[in-house]
Amino acid sequence: MALVINCSEDYNLATAKITAWLKRRGHTVKKIPNKGAIAHNPKESANGYDAVFLSALYTWDLPTLVEEALRALPCSKVEIGGPAASIMPDYVFEQTGIKPVIGLDNRFDSEPGRYLSTYTSRGCIRNCEFCSVPAIEGELRELAGFVPASYVLDANILACSREHIESVCEKFSCLSMVDFLHGLDARLVKSWQVELLSKKLKIPVWRFTFDSLRHEAQLKHTIDLLREYGIKPQEKIIIYCLCGFDDTPADANERARLIMSLGAHPYAMRFQPLDALVKDQYFSPGWNAKTMREFWDFCNIPTLAWLYQQIRPKR
Ligand code: SF4
């Protein structure tokens, strides 16, 4: 019997795939679906499993992962993987004595099944300092045989070939909605991409990123392009606004106001150091708890209210 634990709050595609992989091999599997559910798992229930698989999405979930690993270790074979362990393998090894799987695990990554989210490509053409994708996924590569799902987690799908994007549109056109959750790179948007995506897919919200004022012209160009295809920013566009990395509150506010002036909805994405073991502790020069809170409230309270209206199930 195997135990699969997702040590993060958000949906973890890896643990869903591990569960499917184990079941296909005839194992009985118990799954703890998220961090919140760990508290409801009786302490003694970690005993009696042949194998325990642990995965965390974020580095600040690693202390929970370590705790669970130490609980399971006396009785079970323990395996550790996932994005957070890939970023901090030394920490995991020091705390548990287990060498985690770094990067993608080929045993599970292409496991077929019905999942809430999917990847059609891995990696990215860029190497942004604040982002964990280059370390975890490496260079951009298109995946063959990807499985359609409503939430697409590709780091930079617009950097893929036309052939690949056409294939994604064809395969995903049957879905009631497609959400490119990690955002689209506004610097890469081309007319044929907007035409294809908007014709073939039901996209409730278009998500882009605006991490630096240097990209202002490209963002404006992208929004103009979307308007040409009838996609109104006030109805359909959310823009992630990185804050607290190498900017100041004034710089972040300027980007947010620019987004609003274009009619779109800003969403503050607070920078977290890649090795943060506690979330929301770091402040780059110029930021503090008050300015961060004010910026978050300024962007996210109205945007989340709008987003909820956009994506809530229609009655
Ligand atoms: S932030 Fe976006 S563009 Fe930059 S490396 Fe990460 S995924 Fe690629």
pLDDT tens profile 247-261: 999 999 999 999 999
Residue 39: pLDDT band (50, 70, 90) is confident
Check pLDDT > 70 for residue 43. no
Q: What single DSSP character describes residue 184? A: B
For residue 41, pLDDT beyond 80: no
Helices vs strands, H then E, count in the chain: 12, 12
Please tell me the least confidently modeled range out of 110-114, 160-164, 276-280. 110-114
Q: Cα(129) to centroid of ligand 1, in Å?
A: 9
Co-location of 140 and 75 in the same domain? no
The yes-or-no verdict on residue 238 having pLDDT over 80 is yes
Q: Which of 61, 96, 131 is the last residue of a domain?
A: 96
Q: Which of 87, 121, 129, 131 to mutate to test the pocket of ligand 1 (most atoms within 8 A of CB)?
A: 131
- Is residue 194 one of the residues assigned to a domain? yes
Distance CA 69, CA 73 (A): 6
pLDDT given for residue 46 in this prediction: 60
Count how many domains the chain has.
2
pLDDT at 312 over 70: no
pLDDT of res. 44: 52
* Domain closes at, from 39, 61, 96: 96
Q: Tell me if 36 is assigned to some domain.
A: yes
| Residue 233: pLDDT band with limits 50, 70, 90 | very high
Q: What's the gap in Å between 274 CA and the centre of ligand 1?
A: 13
- Of the pLDDT bands very low, low, confident and very high (cuts 50, 70, 90), residue 58 is very high
**8: containing domain:** 2-96
Beta-carbon count within 10 A of 12 CB = 25
Answer yes or no: is the C-beta of 136 below 6 A from any ligand 1 atom.
Answer: no
Residue 300 and residue 188 share a domain? yes
Residue 156 to residue 123: CA distance in whole angstroms: 7
Average pLDDT across the chain, whole number: 94
Residue 69: C-alpha distances to residues 73, 76, 85, 231 (Å) = 6, 9, 12, 48
Same domain for 60 and 158, yes or no, is: no
Question: Does ligand 1 lie within 6 Å of residue 121's CB atom?
Answer: no
Residue 102 within a domain:
no
| Closest-CA residue to 92 (of 24, 157, 7, 176) | 7
pLDDT of residue 172: 96
Is 126 a pocket residue for ligand 1 (Cβ < 6 Å)? yes
Q: Give yes or no: residues 229 and 141 share one domain.
A: yes
Report yes or no on 132 lying in a domain: yes
- CB-based contact 30:1 (threshold 8 Å): yes
Same domain, 89 and 132: no
Dist. CA 204 → ligand 1 center (Å)? 22
The CATH number covering residue 305 comes to 3.80.30.20
Please say if the pLDDT value at position 48 is more than 90: no
Structure tokens at 16: 């869903």
pLDDT score, position 104: 85
> Looking at the structure, do residues 90 and 215 belong to the same domain, yes or no?
no
Q: Do the domain assignments include residue 263?
A: yes
Q: Taking the alpha carbons of 151, 153, 156, 159 in that order, is the dihedral positive or negative?
A: negative
Residue 112 lies in a domain: no
pLDDT digits (tens, 9 = 90+) for 171-201: 999 999 999 999 999 999 999 999 999 999 9
Residue 215 shares a structural domain with residue 72: no
Same domain, 149 and 292: yes
* CATH number reported for the structural domain that contains residue 50 in this entry: 3.40.50
Q: What's the pLDDT score for residue 314?
A: 58
In a domain, 163, yes or no: yes
pTM score over 0.85: yes
Q: Are residues 237 and 129 in the same domain?
A: yes
Please report the atom of ligand 1 found closest to the CA of residue 156: 7
Q: Which of 53, 54, 58, 72 is nearest to 8 (CA)?
A: 58
124 lines ligand 1 (CB under 6 A): yes
